[in-house]
């Protein structure tokens, strides 16, 4: 069966352009419209035909799409799964968990199965392929993460860029001029994961705004590898006498802060006497980060907000279907809502200390 991506490839346009031709939500040139229609005719593409047959009944189930690699354990994933489940239950919905690493096809299977009324999507990329699936099948969904096209679907997120700017600015105000920014793993950046790219952008912007030297390095997913990397960054540089070691470390990683104090100690440094540490994205109530200054990830607020947005999108689509309207992305666009949460820097028991001479 042809997909919206097949049509886009044949017409030489982006999948989003095909969607705009179908729903009329944006102005498209006549030449482009004709190319898209010719591709549709040649491929025998019928947008949303399969999905439309599934609208006659409600399941009172929400799907939580949480792509994950086998063996990797991030506590943040479990917290979101629990809080989305609680939010769904409060609205009269059960939760279906799907963990396919093939994001687009995994969502397609759920949408066409009729098992769920809508989906909540995690692990959001800047140009997330699942957005095209939602548009193609008119399947209601909301994102925990902020895509590049902010008007594509409903979403909730922490403002990761402003969180990084805040951390660098506060460190600079405390007298730190040499900072290491421990960003998410390189695979997250290469995959264009939204939170990773936005955090790094904030680190660079904070450096420019304050004149602080900020070295961005990538974390790794295992504690031993993280300890080795920090030892190279912190201890080795000092021992080799190239220049003074950094006086502050900002950590933006879903699990690195669990091991950060152990890793810093292994490098022969004390917090905060030798190194000030700020964590971005700490889980609320997590004892491993309570000692450190931190921007917490408001999991409960994000989960509650995104669940409400997904349920609202499903309700809007049902209303349209009941009126015998063509379900399309124009409808989904009308129900788009955003919840962007401003960062707050919380103090830890280890103060945001000035650097030692």
User: Do residues 210 and 80 both lie within one domain?
Assistant: no
Q: Which two tokens stand for residue 152?
A: 């594509």
pLDDT at position 16: 75
Residue 346 lies in a domain: no
pLDDT at position 53: 43
**52-77 burial: b if 16+ Cβ within 10 Å, else e:** eebbeeebebbbbbbbeeeeeeeebb
User: Do residues 254 and 194 both lie within one domain?
Assistant: yes
Residue 91 lies in a domain: yes
User: Do residues 168 and 213 both lie within one domain?
Assistant: yes
pLDDT at position 25: 52
User: Do residues 177 and 229 both lie within one domain?
Assistant: yes
pLDDT at position 32: 86
pLDDT at position 250: 95
Residue 353 lies in a domain: no
DSSP codes, 78-133: HHHHHHHHHHHHHTT-EEEEE--SSHHHHHHHHHHHT--SEEEE-S-BTT-THHHH
Residue 110 lies in a domain: yes
User: Do residues 33 and 123 both lie within one domain?
Assistant: no
User: Do residues 165 and 183 both lie within one domain?
Assistant: yes
Helix (H) or strand (E) holding 180: strand 178-183
Could you tell me the pTM of the whole model?
0.81
Residue 270 lies in a domain: yes
Q: What string of pLDDT tens digits covers the 357 residues of the chain?
A: 677 788 888 899 887 787 777 655 567 788 888 888 888 888 877 655 444 444 445 889 999 999 987 666 677 888 999 999 999 999 999 999 999 989 999 998 898 888 899 999 999 999 999 999 998 888 999 999 999 999 999 999 999 999 999 999 999 999 999 999 999 989 899 999 999 999 999 999 999 999 999 999 998 877 777 778 877 777 655 444 555 778 999 999 756 556 777 777 777 788 888 889 999 999 998 887 888 899 999 999 999 999 999 999 998 887 766 665 544 444 444 456 899 999 999 998 877 777 765
pLDDT at position 47: 57
Residue 350 lies in a domain: no
> How many angstroms separate the CA atoms of 210 and 226, rounded?
28
Residue 180 lies in a domain: yes
User: Do residues 126 and 33 both lie within one domain?
Assistant: no
| Number of structural domains found in the chain | 3
Residue 248's domain is classified under what CATH number? 3.40.50.2300
User: Do residues 98 and 228 both lie within one domain?
Assistant: no
**Residues 132, 15 contacting (CB under 8 angstroms):** yes
Secondary structure of residue 34 in the 3-state scheme: helix
User: Do residues 294 and 322 both lie within one domain?
Assistant: no
User: Do residues 171 and 292 both lie within one domain?
Assistant: yes
Tracing tokens 């070691």 back to the chain, one arrives at 245
Nearest by Cα to 153 from 65, 74, 67:
65
User: Do residues 317 and 292 both lie within one domain?
Assistant: no
User: Do residues 194 and 274 both lie within one domain?
Assistant: yes
pLDDT at position 321: 64
pLDDT at position 204: 98
- Measured CA angle at 336 (ends 29, 189), to 5 deg: 85
Residue 354 lies in a domain: no
Count the Cβ atoms, other than its own, within 10 Å of residue 211. 8
**Host domain of residue 195:** 160-298
- 285 to each of 76, 278, 340, how far by Cα in Å? 12, 16, 21
């Amino acid at each position: 069966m042809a997909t919206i991506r097949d049509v886009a490839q044949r017409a030489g346009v982006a999948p989003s352009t095909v969607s705009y031709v179908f729903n009329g939500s944006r102005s498209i040139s006549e030449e482009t419209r004709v190319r898209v229609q010719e591709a549709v005719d040649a491929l025998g593409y019928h947008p949303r035909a399969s999905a439309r047959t599934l609208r006659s009944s409600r399941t009172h189930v929400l799907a939580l799409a949480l792509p994950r690699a086998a063996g990797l354990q991030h506590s943040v994933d479990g917290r979101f799964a629990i809080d989305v489940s609680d939010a769904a239950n409060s609205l009269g919905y059960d939760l279906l968990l799907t963990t396919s690493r093939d994001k687009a096809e995994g969502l397609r299977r759920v949408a066409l199965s009729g098992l769920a009324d809508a989906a909540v999507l995690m692990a959001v990329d800047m140009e997330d392929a699942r957005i095209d699936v939602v548009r193609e099948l008119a399947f209601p969904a909301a994102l925990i993460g902020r895509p590049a096209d902010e008007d594509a679907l409903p979403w909730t997120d922490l403002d990761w860029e402003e969180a990084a700017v805040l951390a660098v600015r506060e460190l600079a105000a405390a007298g730190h001029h040499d900072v290491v920014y421990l960003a998410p793993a390189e695979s997250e950046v290469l995959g264009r994961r939204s939170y990773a790219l936005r955090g790094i952008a904030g680190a660079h912007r904070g450096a420019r705004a304050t004149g602080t030297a900020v070295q961005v390095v990538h974390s790794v997913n295992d504690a031993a590898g993280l300890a080795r990397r920090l030892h190279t960054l912190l201890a080795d540089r000092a021992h080799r006498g190239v220049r003074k070691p950094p006086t502050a470390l900002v950590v933006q990683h879903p699990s690195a802060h669990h091991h950060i104090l152990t890793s810093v100690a292994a490098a022969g440094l004390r917090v905060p006497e030798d190194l000030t540490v700020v964590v971005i994205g700490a889980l609320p109530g997590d004892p491993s980060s309570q000692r450190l200054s931190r921007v917490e990830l408001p999991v409960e607020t994000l989960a509650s907000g995104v669940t409400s947005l997904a349920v609202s999108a499903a309700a809007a689509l049902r209303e349209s279907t009941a009126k015998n309207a063509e379900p399309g992305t124009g409808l989904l666009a009308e129900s788009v809502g955003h919840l962007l949460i401003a960062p707050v820097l919380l103090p830890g028991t280890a103060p945001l200390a000035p650097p030692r001479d």
